[in-house]
Amino acid sequence: MAIVAAHGGLVEDARFFRAVMDDVALAIASSALSGALADIGVVVLFVCSGGRLDKHPGASTTVGLVKRLLDEGCGTVLASPWPVDVSVPPHWLPAFLAAWSSGTCVMDACFAANQAVRARLGDDPGKYFAMSVYGNPLAQRSTASAPRAASGEAPQGADQGIAPVAG
């Protein structure tokens, strides 16, 4: 699992997702980020508009960060198609991780987390419907497929279903 929290940037005419940015000067193109996260089973994006999917201007498909991540082999992506209110992640993530850690599939863990946001932040659909599931909604936490280090031992964090990202 990989969790990304950053600003999301759209192209100037706001037609397409462009980059992930920090508060200072770092900007990472969606192609670079998706390449770095290739083949991660579950990716959580607390990135404004990170779940946005737009019609490709010259083909019968969509474009966006989620599309790139799925194309790069990520099985499931959780993201918001609109700007994520900063009050959402502190309530959503603990509820999601608790459900996920108990063996609940991603779809149900996301629902539980969205309901936790609703219970804590009130009846604002922009907050409690923000996080959506893309890709495989039935993915479950599994330590059986945790990667092994060259020594044959599981890398640090693998017992929690977390794999280190190289590079």
Per-residue pLDDT of the chain (167 residues; tens, 9 = 90+): 999 877 665 555 556 555 676 677 777 777 888 899 999 999 999 987 787 776 667 766 666 788 889 999 999 999 988 888 999 999 999 999 999 999 999 999 999 999 999 999 999 999 999 999 999 999 998 732 444 344 444 444 433 343 333 33
Cite the beta strand spans of 22-72 per DSSP E.
27-29, 42-47, 54-55, 62-63
Q: What is the SS3 assignment for 20?
A: strand
Strand partners, 4: 45
Supply the pLDDT for residue 147.
Answer: 42
d(CA 32, CA 122): 36
Q: How far apart are the first and last CA of the chain?
A: 16
d(CA 66, CA 137): 14
- Please tell me the predicted confidence (pLDDT) of residue 31: 80
Using a cut of 0.85, tell me whether the model's pTM lies above it: no
pLDDT score, position 155: 40
Task: For each of the domains in the chain, give its residue range(s) and CATH number, in order of start.
Answer: 2-138 (3.40.50.1460)
Could you give the angle at the alpha carbon of 166 between the alpha carbons of 162 and 167, nearest 5°? 145
- Name the nearest CA neighbour of 99 among 85, 91, 111, 83: 111
CB count, 10 Å around CB of 1? 19
pLDDT (0 to 100) of residue 109: 97
Strand-pair partners of 78: 44, 133
Q: How many helices (H) and strands (E) does the chain have?
A: 5, 8
